[in-house]
Amino acid sequence: MEKIKVVCPHCGAVNAIPKKDQYSKANCGQCKASLLATKPINLDEAAFNNQVANSDIPVIVDFWAEWCGPCKMMAPAFEQTAAQYPLKLRFAKLDTEAQQSVAARFAIRSIPTTIAFKNNKEIDRVSGALSAEQLKQWVSQFI
């Protein structure tokens, strides 16, 4: 059976799980928590590198900051969209103030900027706040 690598959203352990169309249950081999959790995870630089390098599923990263009004407006849409793709997409947030070196590495000039990563590479990005509908349309092309 084909396997895919997913990074646990709770502890960061890399899990290899059978590739399926749908999952009813999948737990982390290390911390036992559910790999189906969809709440966007907050990334520091190490967690960012781990997620992007070790995930076979695309990682959607919202580059944001506390002072950014449009970022806050977009947060509920981001969470809502994340909930629709358990183990299909990993949704994460990166605070550009706290993690300036990552923001610099990807030349983030305006926020919110949302970047899709696959196999450790940026595959697409979009700047500006998106509605849940726009976000869903944009991410559905990466599955």
The footprint of Zn ion on residues 3-42 (CB under 5 A) is 8, 10-11, 13, 28, 30-31
Whose Cβ is closer to Zn ion: residue 27's or residue 127's?
27
31 given a catalytic annotation = no
Which pairs with CB-CB distance under 8 Å and at least 24 residues apart come from 75-79? 76/132, 77/130, 77/131, 77/132, 77/135, 78/40, 78/135, 79/39, 79/40
Min CB(65)–Zn ion separation in Å: 28
Cβ closest to Zn ion, residue 31 vs residue 73: 31
Based on the residue annotation, tell me whether 71 is a catalytic residue of this protein.
Answer: yes
Is residue 51 within 8 Å of residue 105, measured between CB atoms? no
Distance CA 76, CA 132 (A): 8
Residues 45-104, interacting with Zn ion (CB under 5 A): none
> Among all residues, which ones are annotated catalytic?
68, 71
Q: Which residues of the chain form contacts with Zn ion (CB under 5 A)? A: 8, 10-11, 13, 28, 30-31
